[in-house]
Amino acid sequence: MEKYKTGDQVCPDNSGKALDIKSVFTAFIPLAFGVVMGLAFIAIEFVIKKNNLKTTICLYGGDDVSLGIDGIGSATTKEEDLSKSQLLEIIGQLRGEVTILSNKLALKEDQVL
C-alpha cells in the first residue's frame, strides 16, 4: 500500500492568501475599457440633449432625415415635417436595405462554412 500514498506538495501552498496585482491585471483592462466607453456615451448623450443637437440619417436617393433627440423620435426634413406616407416609405426602404444586407451576410457565412 506504500505505493499508492500521496506525495508531498511540490508547489507553494497559496490557499487563503490574497491575489496580487500581477495575477488580476488582465481582467481589469476590459473592465476599465467598458467603464470609459460607458461614461463617454453618457457624456455624448448629455451634450446632444443639452445643446438640442440633431442627428442626421442619409437615405439612398432621398432627403436627409433629421431625427431630434427628444425621446419621441420626431422626424423632420430640412423644409417641413414628414407625412405618415413618407415615413412608411422610408421604413420600407430601410427594410429593403436590411434584407439585402442579411442576404449578403448569409452568403458570406455559407462561403466561410
Residues 38-96 have pLDDT tens digits of 999 999 888 877 776 665 555 555 554 554 444 444 444 444 567 778 888 888 888 98
Distances (CA, A) of 68 to 11, 16, 53: 63, 56, 7
Distances (CA, A) of 109 to 5, 42, 82, 97, 104: 55, 35, 38, 18, 9
**Whole-structure pTM value:** 0.36
Most confident by average pLDDT, 2-11, 28-37, 53-62: 28-37
Query: pLDDT tier at 27 (50, 70, 90 boundaries)?
Result: confident
Beta bridge partners of 66: 56, 76
pLDDT of residue 53: 65
